[in-house]
Amino acid sequence: MSEKKSKMLKATQGLKNAMGRHYLAIEQAYRDGKPTAWATSGCPVELLYAMGVQPMLPENSATISAAQKYSKNFIELAEQEGFSYDMCSYFKTNVGAVMEGVDVYKGGIRKPTFMLSSDVICDTHSHWFQVQAERFGGVPHYIIDVPHVVSNTSKRQLDYFKKYVEEQMWELLEFIKEHTGNEIDMEKAKEAAANSYELSEVWRDIYELRKNVPSPISTKDTFGGLFPLFTMPGLRSPINLYKRMYREAKARVDTGQGALENEEFRLMFEGIPFWYQLKYFAMLERFNAIIVYEPYTFAFSKFFSNPFEEFSKKRLLKDPIECMSALMLSFWYIFDLETRVKWFKQTVKDWKIDGVILHNNVSCRPNTTTFYDLKRRLGEEGDIPCLIIDSDQNDPRKFNEVQITNQIESFIELLRKRKKK
Ligand code: SF4
């Protein structure tokens, strides 16, 4: 079988510079004595920017360690400290990287002024920061507690949840003031919120282009491309980068060019990718297969990945605190099975997807917990073929290349037979 190569957008190459500027801004903040904060994904990072606090995302740092092939070493160091083999590998990568005191380009991250976490996506986030705050010898830590909305959550409960989260958001602003001396400026908060909205909007538009056959972009553009959405929401610079990506992808659509020559199979990939082995995804190209949608990377366009409620720009600018509080209750990862089934069926239809690959990620139970039911329901209700593969996003010890390749080859064979029918 011949080797193929999908074309990455030229604009995506600018991502390295954009992220480089983010790490330089962090270094500059330490030099200038500006406040810094660790934040988990799902937290309102926009408010940190609006209050003159430089955010740092340890999950992002952990992916750098993996991409640079350091994560295994850091994970093993954390295990020697007594953290279990089964715990989240982002957490253990962070523990090891901090122990080693490595620089940002190896996934290192320094002691911040304060930490901000939330249990909206997983409990790991808040426990992770609790542990690290203690190991640093004490760092102020604010946790936003977010109740989960499930199938039978009533409107009354939901309204109560919103108020509960919003109260914490106001308390958070007080907490930041107490530890940095910086006060919230509502005009700056609106500006950061508007930038965040625009960033999400362009990301959504890029995904809309992927509905075209052939798809103009592949995961070479989206797996890395998602990082500005959670490290820099609120800033202008990543918006310009996404706009360039959009324009280039649109030009491909207009001239009928695909990212992959001879696109034959269109796939969805759900879950966090294996950051230490991203080039593995190029293996799909040998079968003329391309991933055209990832719920995980799309989820970060948070204003548009919500099936329950509309988050308009008008609403956001009227009251950014209210809107961001409501948003925290609706992150993709906390959707229940019913919502996921509905969303997947619609996405498969709209993006003309032939098959779904679900990454049963050993690290991330919150994301993978419904996968076997999801596979069954999609098969029974939508005749949608699904493959579940087992691995881990940051721990290469849990990646069995031969096994996964065999599974994917069989899956593509199945899809081929279905097309011939
Ligand atoms: S990988 Fe999963 S468990 Fe780990 S921090 Fe991320 S969401 Fe939480």
Look at residue 347 and tell me if it is in a domain.
yes
Q: What is the pLDDT of residues 78-124, one digit of tens each?
A: 999 999 999 999 999 999 999 999 999 999 999 999 999 999 999 99
* Residue with CA nearest ligand 1 atom 6: 364
Look at residue 282 and tell me if it is in a domain.
yes
Look at residue 381 and tell me if it is in a domain.
yes
- Mean pLDDT value across residues 155-177: 96
Q: What number does the ligand 1 atom closest to the CA of 40 have?
A: 5
Calculate how far, in angstroms, residue 129's C-alpha sits from the geometric centre of ligand 1.
12
Q: Look at residue 4 and tell me whether its pLDDT is greater than 70.
A: no
Mutate to test the pocket of ligand 1, among 60, 125, 370 (most ligand atoms within 8 A of CB): 125
Q: Which domain holds residue 228?
A: 189-301+335-420
Return the pLDDT at 64. 97
Q: Which of 82-96, 138-152, 275-289 has maximum average pLDDT?
A: 82-96
Mutate to test the pocket of ligand 1, among 60, 367, 371 (most ligand atoms within 8 A of CB): 367
Total domains present in the chain:
1
Token pair, residue 227, equals 């990082």
Calculate how far, in angstroms, residue 43's C-alpha sits from the geometric centre of ligand 1.
13
Q: What is the pLDDT of residues 298-321, one digit of tens each?
A: 998 889 887 777 889 999 999 999
Angle at 225 between CA 221 and CA 230, to 5 degrees: 160
Q: What number does the ligand 1 atom closest to the CA of 121 have?
A: 7
Calculate how far, in angstroms, residue 84's C-alpha sits from the geometric centre of ligand 1.
15
| Stronger pLDDT, 391 or 150, i.e. the higher one | 391
183 Rama class: left (phi>0) / alpha (psi -120 to 50) / beta = beta
Look at residue 288 and tell me if it is in a domain.
yes
- CATH (domain of 398): 3.40.50.11900
Q: What is the pLDDT of residues 334-373, one digit of tens each?
A: 788 888 999 999 999 999 999 999 999 999 988 888 899 9
Return the pLDDT at 305. 81
Token pair, residue 323, equals 């809107």
Look at residue 165 and tell me if it is in a domain.
no
| Stronger pLDDT, 75 or 420, i.e. the higher one | 75
Mutate to test the pocket of ligand 1, among 43, 59, 126 (most ligand atoms within 8 A of CB): 59
Q: Which of 134, 141, 96 is nearest to 115 (CA)?
A: 141
How far is C-alpha 34 from the geometric centre of its chain's CA atoms? 27
Angle at 382 between CA 377 and CA 384, to 5 degrees: 85
This prediction's pTM:
0.95
Mutate to test the pocket of ligand 1, among 86, 88, 132, 392 (most ligand atoms within 8 A of CB): 88
Return the pLDDT at 366. 82
| Stronger pLDDT, 155 or 142, i.e. the higher one | 142
Q: What number does the ligand 1 atom closest to the CA of 394 have?
A: 1
Helix 89-100, helix 58-67: angle, nearest 10:
80
Look at residue 222 and tell me if it is in a domain.
yes
Return the pLDDT at 373. 97
Q: Look at residue 268 and tell me whether its pLDDT is greater than 70.
A: yes
Calculate how far, in angstroms, residue 198's C-alpha sits from the geometric centre of ligand 1.
26
Calculate how far, in angstroms, residue 386's C-alpha sits from the geometric centre of ligand 1.
23
Q: Percent of the chain at pLDDT above 70?
A: 99
Calculate how far, in angstroms, residue 228's C-alpha sits from the geometric centre of ligand 1.
18
* Residue with CA nearest ligand 1 atom 2: 364
- Mean pLDDT value across residues 171-184: 98
Calculate how far, in angstroms, residue 318's C-alpha sits from the geometric centre of ligand 1.
32
Calculate how far, in angstroms, residue 362's C-alpha sits from the geometric centre of ligand 1.
10
Q: Look at residue 3 and tell me whether its pLDDT is greater than 60.
A: no
Return the pLDDT at 365. 86
Calculate how far, in angstroms, residue 191's C-alpha sits from the geometric centre of ligand 1.
30
Q: What is the pLDDT of residues 207-229, one digit of tens each?
A: 999 999 999 999 999 999 999 99
Cis peptide, bond prior to residue 238, ω within 30 of zero? no
Task: In whole angstroms, give the CA distance from residue 12 to residue 277.
Answer: 19
Q: Look at residue 2 and tell me whether its pLDDT is greater than 60.
A: no
Q: What number does the ligand 1 atom closest to the CA of 123 have?
A: 8
Q: Which of 60, 86, 78, 179 is nearest to 135 (CA)?
A: 78
Return the pLDDT at 85. 96
For residue 263, the tally of other CB atoms under 10 A from its CB is 18
Look at residue 164 and tell me if it is in a domain.
no
Q: What number does the ligand 1 atom closest to the CA of 128 have?
A: 5
Residues framing ligand 1 (Cβ under 6 A): 59, 88, 90, 121-122, 124-125, 363-364, 366-367
Q: Percent of the chain at pLDDT above 90?
A: 86
Beta strands 265-270; 355-361: pairing state? parallel
Mean pLDDT, the chain, as a whole number?
Answer: 94
Q: Look at residue 252 and tell me whether its pLDDT is greater than 70.
A: yes
Calculate how far, in angstroms, residue 124's C-alpha sits from the geometric centre of ligand 1.
6
Look at residue 361 and tell me if it is in a domain.
yes
